[in-house]
């Protein structure tokens, strides 16, 4: 069996490594000069206007010229801030990832310490955000925008934040606890997959069996699919009417992947 890492796996590892290094070496700081603060306000307004366009017209109809008009600027002036429609899309993707992650973090701050409860709270927070912002959820997890490819160096750090929370929950769930039965053993991984996951976990400074980590990431990715099925109405009108009741059942099944009831 060939256990070498595939090129796409090596690329993923490189992106996660870069994201981890950026968090340690390049902390985000607030601008200190009036000019920098003015630029930050303008950029925030551009993102706000872009999100308004996204809500009204969808990602495929984003227009920098319209953003310029809404800012009260000539169309050429907008390019001093945003070079292209693709760059605006990237700004909106990062903004959505940050908002989603912060919503999840706020919910987890109110949750108890039990890993299963924390996963279910995380899942509920993701669904609330998705239903409140279906156009932004679609931008993150729906049909890709034709001709656009999100730059990993700009989007990965914030894009993995919720996944890292799920992995942290898995770390807690995998720790021995008095009076709690251990989770069933995880399925053994192929050597190449195990090596990749071990490197990712090392970069994230998470002590977790790679097979358990894969189970946790499976729960996270399945959660995205489950929520998308609700947001996009893929389960039919009757399922939409059941809403949280159906999702709660589905999320309990996903929680079993991390910590059985």
SS3 for 178-191 is CCCCCCCCCCCCCH
Fold of 96-261: Tetracycline Repressor; domain 2 (1.10.357)
Which one, of 87, 97, 82, 84, lies nearest residue 151 by Cα? 87
Q: Report the percentage of the chain scoring pLDDT > 90.
A: 54
Distance of CA 261 to the CA centre of its chain: 26
Contacts of 150 (CB under 8 A, 6+ apart): 89, 90, 93
> What is the per-residue pLDDT across 62-102, written as a single tens digit (0 to 9) for each?
999 999 999 988 888 899 999 999 999 999 999 999 999 99
pLDDT at position 184, please? 60
pLDDT at position 238, please? 65
Domain ranges of the chain: 33-83, 96-261
pLDDT at position 15, please? 45
pLDDT at position 96, please? 97
Using the predicted structure, report yes or no on whether residue 168 has a pLDDT greater than 90: yes
> What is the per-residue pLDDT across 180-237, written as a single tens digit (0 to 9) for each?
555 666 677 888 888 989 998 999 999 999 999 999 999 999 999 999 998 888 776 6
The domain 33-83 is placed in CATH, from the list 2.40.350, 3.30.60, 1.10.3470, 1.10.10, at 1.10.10
- For residue 259 the two structure tokens come to 């910590």
Query: Looking at residues 150-162, what average pLDDT do you find?
Result: 93
- In angstroms, the CA 88 to CA 146 distance is 15
Provide the b/e sequence for 143-153 (b: ≥16 CB within 10 Å): eebeebebebe
- In angstroms, the CA 167 to CA 198 distance is 13
H or E stretch at 13:
helix 7-25
Query: Looking at residues 122-133, what average pLDDT do you find?
Result: 94
Using the predicted structure, report yes or no on whether residue 4 has a pLDDT greater than 50: no
pLDDT at position 11, please? 42
pLDDT at position 22, please? 47
Question: What is the overall mean pLDDT for the chain?
Answer: 84
Compute φ and ψ for 53, nearest 5 degrees. Answer: -65, -40
- In angstroms, the CA 223 to CA 35 distance is 43
Query: Looking at residues 26-54, what average pLDDT do you find?
Result: 83
Q: How far is CA 166 from CA 49, 118, 121, in A?
A: 32, 9, 11
Place of tokens 């059942």: 249
Question: Residue 78, Cβ neighbours under 10 Å: how many?
Answer: 21
Query: Looking at residues 137-148, what average pLDDT do you find?
Result: 91
């Amino acid at each position: 069996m060939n256990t070498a890492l595939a090129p796409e796996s090596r690329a993923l590892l490189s992106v996660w490594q870069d994201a981890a290094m950026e968090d340690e070496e390049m902390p985000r700081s607030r601008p200190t000069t009036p000019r920098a603060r003015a630029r930050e306000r303008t950029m925030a307004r551009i993102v706000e206007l872009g999100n308004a366009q996204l809500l009204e017209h969808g990602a495929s109809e984003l227009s920098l010229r319209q953003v310029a008009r809404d800012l009260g600027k000539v169309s050429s002036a907008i390019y001093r801030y945003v070079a292209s429609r693709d760059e605006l899309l990237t700004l909106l993707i990062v903004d959505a990832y940050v908002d989603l992650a912060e919503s999840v973090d706020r919910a987890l701050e109110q949750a108890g310490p039990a890993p299963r409860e924390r996963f279910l709270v995380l899942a509920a927070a993701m669904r609330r955000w998705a239903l409140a912002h279906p156009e932004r959820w679609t931008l993150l997890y729906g049909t890709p925008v034709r001709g656009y490819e999100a730059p990993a160096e700009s989007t990965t750090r914030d894009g993995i934040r919720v996944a890292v929370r799920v992995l942290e929950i898995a770390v807690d769930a995998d720790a021995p606890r008095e009076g709690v039965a251990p989770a069933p053993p995880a399925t053994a991984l192929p050597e190449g997959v195990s090596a990749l996951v071990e490197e990712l976990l090392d970069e994230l400074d998470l002590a977790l069996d790679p097979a358990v980590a894969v189970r946790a990431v499976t729960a996270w990715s399945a959660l995205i699919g489950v929520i998308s099925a609700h947001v996009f109405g893929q389960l039919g009108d009757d399922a939409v009417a059941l809403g949280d009741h159906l999702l709660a059942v589905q999320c309990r099944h996903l929680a079993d992947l991390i910590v059985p009831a």
